[in-house]
Structure 1
Amino acid sequence: MPFAMALVLASLLAGCAKDGGDSAPASDSAQAEASKPVTFTYFNAAVAGKDGNTNETVLGKLLEEQTGVNFKIEHLVGDLNTKLGVMVASGEYPDVVVPDSGIDKMLDAKAFIPLNDLIDRYAPNLKKLYAPYWDQMPSEDGNIYIIPFAASHGFVPDMYQPGAFYIQRGVLKEFGYPKVKTLDEYFDLIKRYKEKHPQINGGDTIGFETLTDDWRFFTLTNPAPNLNGLPNEGEVYVDKDTHLAYATGDKPFMKRWIRKLNEVNSQGLLDKESLVAKYDQYIAKLSTGRVLGFFDYGWQIIPAMQNLAQAGNDDRQFIGFPLVFDQGTKDQYLDPPTFATNRGIGITTSAKDPVRIIQYFDNMVKEENQKLLFWGEKGKTYEVGENGRFFRTEAQIKQAASPEFLQSYGFAYYSYYWPMGAGLYEDGNAYFPDRQPEVVEQSYTEGDKTILEAYGLKVFTDVYSPPETRKWYPVWSANKQQGSPEQVFEQKKTDLQRKAFPRLILASPDQFDAMWDEYVAAFNKLNVKSYENWANGVVQDRLDGKKR
């Protein structure tokens, strides 16, 4: 549709809404107002980035040509609660806010306007995209204040490693690329390799590294349910048959995991410093090439993986495996399609023109624009094969890895934090290039191809079992008010584990059971039952299609 015609249609719709649904055409002045270029303000509290205008990028300019709308984007600097607190106190907000974990603060302050009527009147594409999740979006008062990201349509695994037990490729090569399925097999390989190679790159070989810094403490606790064949639900696991939730903190699989770390420490395989190290120290340690193994998530280790790739020694790079305690256990590390309602984007009470903002959102979620925002322009940032499959050339992949290009083209602004889809387009291509096998395979190095061939894999995530459908998943994404019983439980539980788990890991093995019993006694003094009741409420509400 030509831009001028689109603006006329928008103004007619606005005129109808203003006149209570009257079909009379809008006045010339109303049309002129609707066609006037406009800049809205957008505050992103979720991620650091370069502030600027969307129309200063290729993608943003294309959308401005379609809609007449530009966004001036500001990112968080400093403390989130302080920043939002200043906004709330003044009652003055940017037009659009992505509040991240400050969502409850903004909702409590009634900083967002209801979107129900706006979506019904002006956003048919938005409503279509979010239709499978529509019942989960309203708050308790029935109003939709936040548009979550993203509405998933079909399952597409992350082509790169999600949660996994990583191990150096050189360790696997040393022993003929053995299959590694259980935790015991994994640590046996690390132990044998360390004994043969006590030093790497001029320093002592480190068998296993952990990460416990600040909010990243979950990296230490999350493996326990995964090793037992369970997905990551946060502080609970949910019985798939009964749909009942149980706290994980005192369960046998948590004890078995922490005991294994105690055993690993007693064998001299654990880096004790990692129990108190900061995140940057952890990344620096991984980057040395002296660490044989660790558990983590792909997104959290990107700097270290880049450093190792630049060093050029493929033996010191890693591959991850979805380990379990026992042979025959089906792993559940991959996330099924999810819809998290506790993160998203809202239009504030200060917004100058909510209608044009929602129309911008509606325009950007058209499938052709979703492809534009995530893949770019055909012939420039991606190609289409004879079979209709999207791919990128080697040069395009290299281009898309450049931070400067991502910023100037607009991928840095539009890759997330807007209303958006996920999964598969109607033609079967993946929403995101980094989940398209043709793109990922093209980006592999010769070293990548060697390790993949050794294990009979096309992409690294082929080692994972498909995720089982869980309508309630994940419980951890449910909204928790600051100071609520469930939030207080989580904080006290984490505080307890921060003290207890390092002591348990470093203890003499013959003292472990007694110390574990002390920990469990302290854990059970917390309001565990109340937290489980809350989690069960989340599960039941989601089974019933309600938002939590």
Structure 2
Amino acid sequence: MVKTAKWLSSLTALALTVGLTACGGGADNKGDAAKSGNNNPASSSNTQVVNADEPGWKSWAEPITFDWYLNYSWFADKWGVDKTTQYITKKTGVNINFIVPAGNENEKLNTMIASNNLPDFITLDWSSDSIDKMIQGGLVLPLNELAEQYDPYFFKTADPDKLKWYTEKDGNVYGYPNQSSSPSDFKKYGDNFNSVNTFLVRKDIYEAIGKPDMRTPEGFLNALKAAKEKFPEVNGQPLIPFGTQEFTDTGNGSFGTNLMDFLAIPYEQDGKLYDRSTDPEYIRWLKTFREANEQGLIAKDIFIDKRPQMEEKITQGRYFAMMFPRSDLQNQNITRYQQDPNSVYIAVDGPANSKLDQPKLSGPSIAGWTLTLISKNVKDKERAIRFLTYLISEEGNKDLFFGEKGVTYDTIDGKDQFLPQVLDMYNNDRSSFAKTYGASYTFWMMMDPALSLKWAPASVEPAKQPEDWTRGKVVDNSIYANLDPAASSPEGIELDRANTQWGKTLPKLILAGSEAEFDAAWKEFQQYRKDHDLDKIQAFQQAAFEQNAAKLGK
């Protein structure tokens, strides 16, 4: 879920002051609803009184189905199958038809943008270039304008810092983030926040080779070698000494920002943005991975496997060590735990800088993970903004986390918590939990991490150990988000070319037959960056960084 080789994160934003204007709603919505085949004629034919002090979504419960595009081919859950989404539909009248790409996400989304065929809601990475295309093309609606006209209660629910952060140059806000924490959230809850960024090892193999220190290049290589020699096969199949996230056309998250965070490479020096990708510590570790490949410790699988293949191999326990998000192997690790608690993946200290400094792992920043937008083709503007207001509210988040009281949770010993049978499935069969109950943010599109801290049950193994390992290592990197130029700008076009070139260069570096070959490929890539307006890109990012500092009061 982390994009690699986007040297610093994207989307510039300027400050916004949102007016809390309460206007009459419903009239302008009739034509739009009729044109798009609204299946909720009652809502489009009756003028609704707009009240800034009351949640607008409570005005209606008539049925309506929204189409919601998720730009993630791996998402497989369906709305209305489980107890939680059935309850939300009963409560709000809203049903969701999720649309998920079957193959390449970018191809699917670009086709919809080109044909002006966007569904009602769209959720994608906040750093996606497609966001700028949709905004510039007039394909998505300003949330602030929808709220002013149809649901001013939105402004009471939405975090003003997040609205300010995602304000565009035209003064409008087009998307609302999930997994986003404002600076005030971080100050209040920072000690409780954790990171998904982990270095994992298979517990039994790690212990069998003596629990080696893997923080140095030498220790890392020796551990991979020892694991391969002692356990050449796992259940009749070759051991994969080292695993990563999947390679994409712009690189690999494990070898990018995640590695830099483990090495505690700074984002800035003396008030100026630092080009982390050229840090000697980073290059030192990229050369270590090259050496690992030369020693036969990097399997070809990692260059070609996609998420389904990785999940299968994790379930089989074929990896020894992985630089991989702990949350992305959660279900597979539960399966391993049930088969043999000693064969699970645990977090340990991994690659570190020469001083062996503690990692600085990114926590939930104000930018968040995804951004959700409302299409101009939305079948009912009023219901759409009111449903979004519900989802981002504390009530909506609680419903998405707990589901329906008495069905999935209850107040037990003075505290809201899952019913025993629900909690048991949550801890032991997360896949069945998602399909049966759909709680605990199975539908994560508008998740608020600060709110979730109020309700999350105490972690149990095998999730507890990797989660606890990240505590105390988490930092707020909000100020470094949204720094890249717009994709359609000259600098944005050149940055995209550089990112794509990095996607081609990274495998060459790891597969290089010698250090000299590595150095040549590295030098060629750095020259490519310079030839494609690196100085202009960095000047843009520095200006955006200074704007971020001003917005955050730093």
TM exceeding 0.5: yes
Structure with more contact order per residue of length (Cα contacts < 8 Å, sep ≥ 6)? 2
* Residue 132 of structure 1: aligned partner: 161
Q: How does 1:252-401 map to 2 (within 5 A)?
A: 252-272=280-300, 274-277=302-305, 280-301=308-329, 305=333, 308-309=336-337, 312-323=339-350, 324-333=352-361, 335-340=362-367, 343-386=370-413, 388=415, 390=417, 393=420, 395-398=422-425, 401=429
Q: How does 1:54-73 map to 2 (within 5 A)?
A: 58-73=83-98
TM-score (norm 2): 0.74
* Residue 218 of structure 1: aligned partner: 253
- Identify the range of structure 1 (503-512 vs 126-135) with the bigger mean alpha-carbon deviation: 503-512
Q: Specify the code of the residue in structure 1 equivalent to 2:357.
A: T
SS at match of 1:274: helix
* Residue 13 of structure 2: aligned partner: none
Contact 2:147 2:154 (8 Å CA) reproduced = no
SS at match of 1:338: coil
Give the Cα separation in 1 of the matches to 2:191 and 2:235: 35
* Residue 549 of structure 2: aligned partner: 543
Contact 2:118 2:377 (8 Å CA) reproduced = yes
Give the Cα separation in 2 of the matches to 1:505 and 1:533: 33
Q: How does 1:82-481 map to 2 (within 5 A)?
A: 83-84=108-109, 87-88=112-113, 91=116, 93-98=118-123, 101=128, 102-120=130-148, 122-124=151-153, 126-152=155-181, 153-154=185-186, 155=189, 162-174=196-208, 177=211, 181-210=215-244, 213-215=247-249, 217-230=252-265, 238-239=267-268, 242-272=270-300, 274-277=302-305, 280-301=308-329, 305=333, 308-309=336-337, 312-323=339-350, 324-333=352-361, 335-340=362-367, 343-386=370-413, 388=415, 390=417, 393=420, 395-398=422-425, 401=429, 403=431, 406-407=434-435, 409-411=437-439, 415-418=443-446, 420-424=447-451, 429-430=454-455, 433=456, 436=457, 438=458, 440-441=459-460, 444=461, 460-475=467-482, 480-481=486-487
Change (3 A) 1:30 1:274: closer
Give the C-alpha shift of residue 99 in structure 1: 5.5
Q: Specify the code of the residue in structure 2 equivalent to 1:317.
A: V
SS at match of 1:133: helix
Change (3 A) 1:296 1:416: same
Identity between Structure 1 and Structure 2 (%): 20
Contact 2:194 2:363 (8 Å CA) reproduced = no
Contact 1:129 1:421 (8 Å CA) reproduced = no
Give the Cα separation in 1 of the matches to 2:319 and 2:105: 34
Deviation track 1:208-249 (CA, whole Å, cap 9, x = no partner) reads 34555324623333354224213xxxxxx621x534223334
Give the Cα separation in 2 of the matches to 1:461 and 1:223: 18
Contact 2:262 2:359 (8 Å CA) reproduced = yes
Give the Cα separation in 2 of the matches to 1:88 and 1:203: 44
- Identify the range of structure 1 (135-144 vs 71-80) with the bigger mean alpha-carbon deviation: 71-80
Change (3 A) 1:42 1:260: same
Q: Specify the code of the residue in structure 2 equivalent to 1:539.
A: F
Give the Cα separation in 2 of the matches to 1:331 and 1:51: 34
Mark the runs of 5 or more structure 2 residues left unpaired by the alignment. Answer: 1-21, 29-44, 50-58
Deviation track 1:102-126 (CA, whole Å, cap 9, x = no partner) reads 3233212212222324424624255
Change (3 A) 1:371 1:86: same
Give the Cα separation in 2 of the matches to 1:494 and 1:301: 27
* Residue 37 of structure 1: aligned partner: 62
Give the Cα separation in 1 of the matches to 2:94 and 2:327: 32
Change (3 A) 1:409 1:168: closer
Give the Cα separation in 1 of the matches to 2:293 and 2:79: 52
* Residue 494 of structure 2: aligned partner: 488
- Identify the range of structure 1 (336-345 vs 106-115) with the bigger mean alpha-carbon deviation: 336-345
Change (3 A) 1:90 1:289: closer
Work out which of the two has the higher radius of gyration on C-alpha atoms and give 1 or 2: 1
Give the Cα separation in 1 of the matches to 2:311 and 2:83: 34
Q: Specify the code of the residue in structure 1 equivalent to 2:260.
A: P
SS at match of 2:444: coil
Deviation track 1:432-452 (CA, whole Å, cap 9, x = no partner) reads x3xx4x1x22xx25xx88xx5
Give the C-alpha shift of residue 545 in structure 1: 1.9
Give the C-alpha shift of residue 167 in structure 1: 1.6
Contact 1:383 1:393 (8 Å CA) reproduced = no
Change (3 A) 1:327 1:119: same
Give the C-alpha shift of residue 531 in structure 1: 2.3
Give the C-alpha shift of residue 511 in structure 1: 5.9
Give the Cα separation in 2 of the matches to 1:79 and 1:517: 31
Change (3 A) 1:511 1:90: closer
Q: Specify the code of the residue in structure 2 equivalent to 1:336.
A: G
- Identify the range of structure 1 (504-513 vs 366-375) with the bigger mean alpha-carbon deviation: 504-513
Contact 2:82 2:437 (8 Å CA) reproduced = yes
Mark the runs of 5 or more structure 1 residues left unpaired by the alignment. Answer: 1-12, 20-27, 231-236, 453-458
Give the Cα separation in 1 of the matches to 2:383 and 2:537: 42
Give the C-alpha shift of residue 342 in structure 1: 8.5
SS at match of 1:424: helix
Give the Cα separation in 1 of the matches to 2:498 and 2:454: 45
Give the Cα separation in 1 of the matches to 2:86 and 2:299: 50
Change (3 A) 1:514 1:107: closer
